[in-house]
Amino acid sequence: MIVEEWNVEDVKPYPRNPRKNQSAIKAVANSIEQFGFEQPIVVDRNGVVIVGHTRLAAAKHLNLKKVPVVVAKNLTKEQVNAYRLADNKTNELADWDMSMLDDELAEITDIDMSDFGFDIPTEDFGDDLGDDDEDAGFEPSFQNAQKALFDGVGEYGIPQIKGVDFIEPVEWISFNMLNSYKKPGAFGVHHFIDDYQFEREWTQIDRQIPRLQRATYVTSPDFSLYVDFPKALQIWNHYRKHWIGAYMEMQGINVIPTIAWSDESSFEWCFDGEPTHKPVTVSTVGVMASKETKEAFLLGYNAMIERLQPTQILYYGQVVDELKDDPTLIPIESFGDQMKKRLGES
């Protein structure tokens, strides 16, 4: 079997694929992020997918430029069609031995298998629950206020993040790759991924702390502040980001604040709780979608500079042309760029 490296745009989905794979794309993308693209896509002589539609969609979701491909050159058209259907159908025929599955999942402690579609029960329950009081150990996330109360700043009492004085060069990984990251040496953890991937930092913060303490630096979570979110929800996400950041600092973690804003009206509160004259981090994911989104980013970016006067700026995503000469910028390599390098070296 010869594995070739193809440009993503040269791999064509089969237009009559009867398999509905939309709900699995994110889980497969998580798998690729966690373990790499270890299973090639199978295509026919014309580059049309036989096996691997979901992997192709996941690659596009991750903005990968190249994917590993195997060309099935020896199959007839009928065999190609049969293989495509057979591969999907045979996956349905297998079933789980649930007892054995539970044993296997129990042995995986450093990788969150819920990222791949497994339903993992929470571990945030007491060890001494009685049979007639099985909910006694449950602690709703709003009770984080009982774990710690911080002197808030601004109109909404946002917890203050102290930040760090200087960022040394380290390798950066996303939060969802933390459990499987085993390389020696200094590294940082960023949160420029979908919100649901780090929601557990709010609902199960004490479970995450020992894992985060391994890192040299951790950015505060990047809870979304979409313009079309109600103002109350935007402020709630800003509060949660800062509560988690302040709580991590209580546990001795070096926290770099993630700065985010929505529209100009958010400038009244979105910088509350951020340190001044310290390093910060920002993301431009989605900024280049239109002239309007780019202008909105620059408006908030300039407000951040004026308000916080940061000494270093960790920068995730494509650098806006207007900022390319800024000496304070420290680019964070995206997973897609890392994957491109990896495929180029293999």
Supply the CATH number for residue 41's domain. Answer: 3.90.1530.10
Does residue 329 form part of some domain? yes
Residue 105 falls inside a structural domain: no
Q: Are 212 and 179 in contact (CB under 8 A)?
A: no
Residues 271 and 159 reside in one and the same domain: yes
If asked whether residues 31 and 177 sit together in one domain, one would say no
Do residues 89 and 160 both lie within one domain?
A: no
Print the domain residue range for 177: 141-345
**Domain count along the chain:** 2
Query: Final residue of a domain: which of 68, 93, 118?
Result: 93
Q: Is residue 190 part of a domain?
A: yes
| pLDDT, position 98 | 66
Predicted local distance difference test score (pLDDT) of residue 38 = 86
* 161 and 77 within one domain: no
Same-domain pairing of 323 and 214: yes
Note whether 50 and 192 are same-domain residues.
Answer: no
pLDDT of residue 242: 97
> What pLDDT does 125 receive?
33
* Residues of the chain where predicted confidence (pLDDT) is lower than 70: 91-96, 98-99, 102-103, 106-107, 109-110, 112, 114-115, 117, 119-143, 334-346
Going edge to edge, which strands form the sheet with 329-332? 280-283, 313-316, 329-332
Report the relative pairing of strands 187-190 and 217-219 from DSSP bridges. Answer: parallel
Residue 49 domain-assigned (yes or no): yes
37 within some domain: yes
Decide: helix, strand or coil at residue 280. strand
pLDDT of 205: 92
Nearest CA among 173, 230, 223, 179 for reference residue 202: 223
Residue 46 in any domain: the answer is yes
Please indicate, yes or no, if residue 12 is contained in any of the structural domains. yes
Predicted TM-score (pTM) of this structure: 0.62
Q: Last residue of a domain, which of 93, 112, 130?
A: 93
